[in-house]
């Protein structure tokens, strides 16, 4: 994993602390992760499983949003 790369091992809080704009990806998918009490503990891989989203698809969407935010 590169230093500035989204990883499935990150917790929701870790990801949002580094890249707050990525919360829009979760909101668009109707994931209640932003502001959730479990955000400090649940990893992206857990959230994908809980919401029935393929991990590769979630990771792809988050990385695309990160690239867009950097422009």
Say which residue the tokens 């829009």 belong to. Answer: 24
The rounded distance, in Å, linking the Cα atoms of 36 and 63 is: 22
Considering the domain boundaries, does residue 20 fall inside one?
A: yes
Residue 2 has pLDDT above 60, yes or no: no
Helix residue spans in the chain (DSSP H): 12-18, 23-28, 44-51, 55-70
**Total domains present in the chain:** 1
Look up the domain containing 50 and give its range.
12-66
The rounded distance, in Å, linking the Cα atoms of 4 and 62 is: 12
Considering the domain boundaries, does residue 1 fall inside one?
A: no
The rounded distance, in Å, linking the Cα atoms of 52 and 48 is: 6
Considering the domain boundaries, does residue 26 fall inside one?
A: yes
C-alpha 24: how far from its chain's center?
9
pLDDT digits 0-9 by tens, 3-21: 478 999 999 999 999 999 9
Predicted local distance difference test score (pLDDT) of residue 5: 87
pLDDT digits 0-9 by tens, 10-58: 999 999 999 999 999 999 999 998 889 989 999 999 999 999 999 999 9
Considering the domain boundaries, does residue 49 fall inside one?
A: yes
């Amino acid at each position: 994993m590169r230093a500035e790369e989204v990883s499935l091992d990150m917790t929701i809080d870790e990801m949002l602390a580094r890249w707050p704009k990525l919360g829009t990806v979760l909101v668009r998918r109707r994931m209640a992760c932003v502001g959730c009490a479990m955000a400090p503990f649940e990893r992206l891989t857990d959230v994908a499983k809980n919401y029935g989203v393929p991990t590769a698809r979630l990771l792809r969407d988050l990385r695309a949003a990160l690239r867009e935010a950097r422009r």
